[in-house]
Amino acid sequence: MAGHFNLIKYAIVYCAILMRFLSDEARNSKRASFDNEGLLLSSFQESLQMVETALCHTRTERGTLRSPMQLFTFLRQAEPETQEISRAAEVFDTTLYILKDRASRRHKRALVASELLSLEDLALIADLSGCPPPVLPAFCHNDCLANKYRSISGVCNNRQKPFWGTANSALARWLPAEYEDGERQPKGWNHGQLYNGFQLPPVHEVSKKILQSSSRPMLLDAAYCQMLVDWGQYIDHDISFTPQSTSRAAFLGGLDCLKTCENINPCFPIETFPDDKLSGNRSCVPFFRSSPACFSGNAQAATTDIKQVLQRQQMNSITSFLDASTVYGHTPYLQSALRDLSNSEGRLAVNSRFTDRSGRPYLPFVPNTPSPCFQDPGDPQGERVDCFLAGDSRVNEVLTLAALHTLWMREHNRIAEALNSLNPHWSSEIIYQEARKIIGALHRQIITTRDYVPKIIGREAFDLYIGPYGGYDATTEPSASNVFSTAAFRFGHATIPSVLRRLNQSFQEHEHFSSLSLHKTFFSPWRLIKEGGLEPVLRGLLGTPATVVSPENLLTEELTERLVVLTVPGGLDLAALNLQRGRDHGLPGYNDWRTFCGLDRIETRDDFREVVKDASVVGKIMDLFRHPDNIDVWLGGLVEEPLPGSRTGPLFSCLIGKQIKMIRDGDRFWWESEGVFTLGQRVELLRHSLSRVICDNSEVKEAPLDPFRFGKYPDGFLLCDNIPSMNLEYFWVSGENVWCKKIYYFL
């Protein structure tokens, strides 16, 4: 039956394509050097069949989790809308490959796609493939709701550029991509390829020889607590999420990416050592390329350079705005799934099976149960605890993320309840949207820009790259950049400790729930529900000093050898994953980004010693890479000496600062933007803090005024009664002043 359905689908698609080619529009379209429409048609049809076959294999294999990478990928799945766009983009990408291969054989010389296709050809292939997706609106509404509340997908935040910063759009390129074929092949794709006369070192070798800290104790930060580290991961998940390819099999030939060490899209395996514990007896571990972004004529209209247009771009499946998408989602479907629509109180859905000892709710479970999250090994016959459902699918990655997600779900419901009491004339939709607007302002924009970012890049860099708010700027593109999401904001991986401490009310080791090795917190939501709730975890974040980024002591073994190890043999190397992802995305090298930021290029070892004080680290890097222009940007930025009062070096401070400023200035709904909040409301919002949110939504009774500062308990800790909170009475509105008479759901 399924095969019959596919034949019908292919026939319909084929007829639609043929009609398109026979139309006057297609016949009269301007061609560059590509003049065989039949070849384009047959290439597209072959591509469509290849992609569908590979996806069918993937769906068949989905029920069997045979490797850490497969499990890791499965638990970070993108939303259905994203998967459909990804499929269309893969069809587009594979069509280009087939066309190029056929034309090269016909002309008996190597050709690149830019020699074959015009912009009109590309737009036609994209249209046939399903790009751009037809669900996006052609115009922006200018009514009450659209002016007062941001859309869930980010669309129309900028009325002139409605797709800037939206979910399922391309990551921004601040510098052109660098691919081995100029278009889509990542660095390291072709064995023997030389860069400045040398081959690039395999990423796992870089990890083992430079980045892995082994058993050396991590250096502790006397100024900041572990909450600073985990907040960074949490806000990163509000800005970008680059989905991996929707296929686990090669589009050309159908090879299973879990079984091959060949580079064949989307398989881009990581080379390992013969006796490596990650790979067993194999010479590689699987790695899937990121899904390409859909080609869009609107998105590429800024340039007529077809070579640049043809470069493979990667997708950001969530909104780039600091809009609390981790709480509310980024698609209408997910937004609806996260809401409690059974009443008129504007609340978020909660878990129907479990609460903590005080009756406080947990996040709901995912609907597709039983889910693959780990269960309590000490109680195999006990009640299942499935994966949590939240606005971001990475909620279950580590226990601390699950705790923070739960905290903000509770805060939304607390605020919604208060608004409902203050404004009983409000509809459920208004209560929800107003609570969402408040959470967005607190959760990301105030706590992040006021309390977090200055500690990360330093006050001097904050003033230089971000500065005071000057109002909404419609010419500023807020889209997350590829280098920010793939390299700069991954600096935090070097500050993740090997142990999650769980503390009691006196901020000492918990007598019932001991501290955990980091790998025991991966995909284990059962530990929140069965092992004391949020409080031991939150106290551990507040009462434990953060680790310090140090060139000689970077990533713990928990991340380079034990990432996702429970129930599945082997593990993953996070450092190698980061480096391979940067090469997959075609990120230019470390020196090019230093030039972009106005910093001096590194030409010699002595130059490198000016920014990396540890001579042994400089020596290891130069011995491996052989030329400073070959150094991967994530590695180079990570080992730089931090600026005074910061946790990042000059390069990452620049890239992070520029990105945060663009997100702030290019957001029409930024909390300080005129008309978003009243002056009185803004004053009250500034009184609130993450510590206050913890106090209001857990049984933690004491916290630091600044939740990111470390003090050995009880130094610096205040009773919750002494921590300021906002007065929600400033959000009372008289019954006569109803802003939006027509309430409906919108994107």
The pLDDT of residue 4: 39
- String of DSSP letters for 598-626: TPPP--SHHHHHHH---HHHHHHHHHHHS
Q: How confident is the model at residue 721 (pLDDT cuts 50, 70, 90)?
A: very high
Closest CA to 587 of 521, 664, 655: 655
User: Between these two residues, 123 and 474, which has the higher pLDDT value?
Assistant: 474
191 as an active site residue: the answer is no
Closest CA to 461 of 662, 274, 652, 293: 652
Structure tokens at 179: 């691919």
Contact 458, 608 (CB under 8 A): no
Return the amino acid letter for 216: R
Structure tokens at 349: 């859905």
Instruction: Enter the DSSP assignment of 352.
Output: S
Contact 326, 231 (CB under 8 A): no
The pLDDT of residue 27: 40
d(CA 451, CA 436) in angstroms, rounded, equals: 21
The pLDDT of residue 369: 72
CATH 1.10.640.10 region(s) of the chain?
136-242+319-747
pLDDT > 90? residue 634: yes
Q: Judge whether 204 is annotated as a binding position.
A: no
CATH superfamily entry for domain 136-242+319-747: Haem peroxidase domain superfamily, animal type (1.10.640.10)
The pLDDT of residue 108: 72
The pLDDT of residue 743: 45
d(CA 476, CA 662) in angstroms, rounded, equals: 6
Contact 564, 469 (CB under 8 A): no
pLDDT > 90? residue 729: yes
The pLDDT of residue 447: 97
pLDDT > 70? residue 611: yes
**Residue reference for tokens 């809401």:** 339
Query: How confident is the model over 536-555, as pLDDT tens digits?
Result: 999 999 999 998 877 666 66
What torsion, rounded to 10 degrees, do the Cα atoms 61, 63, 68, 70 define?
Answer: 40
The pLDDT of residue 194: 97
- String of DSSP letters for 181-211: TSSSPPTTSSTT--BTTBPPPPHHHHIIIII
3-class DSSP string for 104-138 = HHHHCCCCCHHHHCCHHHHHHHHHHHCCCCCCCCC
Please tell me whether the peptide bond between 644 and the residue prior to it is cis, using omega within 30 degrees of 0: no
Q: Provide the H-helix boundaries in 466-513.
A: 482-486
d(CA 295, CA 127) in angstroms, rounded, equals: 9
pLDDT > 90? residue 488: yes
Query: How confident is the model over 498-537, as pLDDT tens digits?
Result: 899 999 999 999 999 999 998 899 899 999 999 999 999 9
Query: How confident is the model over 140-168, as pLDDT tens digits?
Result: 888 888 889 999 999 999 999 999 999 99
What is the rounded average pLDDT of the residues 421-448? 94
d(CA 536, CA 432) in angstroms, rounded, equals: 30
**Considering the entire predicted model, what is its pTM?**
0.92
The catalytic residue among 57, 204, 237, 585 is: 237
Beta strands in 377-527 (DSSP E): 499-500, 516-517
Cβ-based neighbour number of residue 565 at 10 Å:
17
d(CA 342, CA 319) in angstroms, rounded, equals: 27
Contact 559, 496 (CB under 8 A): yes
Contact 202, 270 (CB under 8 A): yes
d(CA 434, CA 180) in angstroms, rounded, equals: 49
pLDDT > 60? residue 303: no
Pick the range with the lowest mean pLDDT from 290-294, 493-497, 577-581. 493-497
Number of H helices, E strands in the chain: 29, 10
Q: Name residues whose C-beta falls within 8 Å of residue 414's C-beta, 6 or more positions apart in sequence.
A: 696, 697
